[in-house]
Chain A
Amino acid sequence: MNQLIPLAMVSSGEMVQVVDVRAGFGLQRRLADMGLTPGVTIRVLNSQMSGPIVINLRGSRLVLGHGVAQKILVKKV
């Protein structure tokens, strides 16, 4: 099934679609400023059990803290 999972749990190499950003207005806005909006498809380039994760977002690489990645809910595509 197409369950929602936090971006932090997605393995390297996988493509996912952002569904929701469960964060305060400030962080939501900040992420949207960089193009991370609901509906956008991203590829996880590097993700470990802890530490920052690297994604490819709209043609550029973006590094997110683990805590931030926990707040981004995605589904697999």
Chain B
Amino acid sequence: MAKKIIIALAGNPNSGKTTVFNNLTGARQHVGNWPGVTVEKKEGTCSYKGYNIKVVDLPGVYSLTAYSPDEVVARNFIVEEKPDAVVDIVDAANLERNLYLAVQLLEMGAQLIVALNMMDEANSRNYRINVEGLSRLIGAPVVPMVAKRNQGTMELLERIVEVAENKVRVKELVINYGREAEEEIAKLERLISQDGEFSRKYSSRWLAVKLLEGDEEVIKKFKEVKVG
């Protein structure tokens, strides 16, 4: 029996998610040179070293707030379905903006792998990226890639298997939001962790932060809970 792994592809719009998806699954999904090509999630499968890997291509997003339907689709999949690994496709030529999403994924406690795509583009702009240093800094595996030439796909598959098999654990990132906010976060976290259902399903710190942000989707979840 082949072991099953579920992974999600996340990333900013136009960072090459669908190209990576096609490389992994051999699918021929339409790749457009404009943002917003993927409006709903697409699924494909791939076999590697005896593993049966289900690959889910998520809509391109800048962030994981509840701002737009695409963000909600992407976030819900990661939070609710808890894929074995989340591959964040990052445009190496636009590192600063792209890593913002990576940080949010780490805060959610996702098992993150950063695919540093468009390395050729970054090189032609004379960017020198310290891949190992970046990996150490964010605490997650980083794989340099040129997806349009199918470079880096094998290494990405290796990292996916390692993370899915728990050989590599990616720790939930805790950002200190300052004393005032942290006091409130701690209070909410205590309350949330008293509810077995919530704390089993979600990171209580993440829920606490989202509640303080006034995130509509998360607030809705709490309203659905019957008290007593």
Contacts and interface: CB of A to CB of B under 8 A. Distances in A.
A59 B63 contact: no
A58 B93 CA distance: 10
B48 interface: no
A45 B97 CA distance: 19
* Max chain A C-beta neighbours (<10 A), residue from B67, B97, B214: B97
Given A26-B67, A33-B62, A58 B214 contact: no
Given A25-B214, A33-B62, A34-B62, A59 B97 contact: yes
Contact of A60 (B97, B100, B214): B97
A35 B94 CA distance: 11
Chain A, interface SS category: mixed
Interface string B48-71: 000000000000001101010000
B180 interface: no
Size category of the binding interface on chain B: 10 to 19
A59 B65 CA distance: 23
Given A25-B214, A33-B100, A59 B67 contact: no
A33 B63 contact: yes
Given A33-B62, A34-B62, A35-B100, 6 more contacts: A29-B213, A34-B97, A35-B96, A35-B97, A59-B93, A59-B97
Interface of A: 25-26, 29-30, 33-35, 57-60
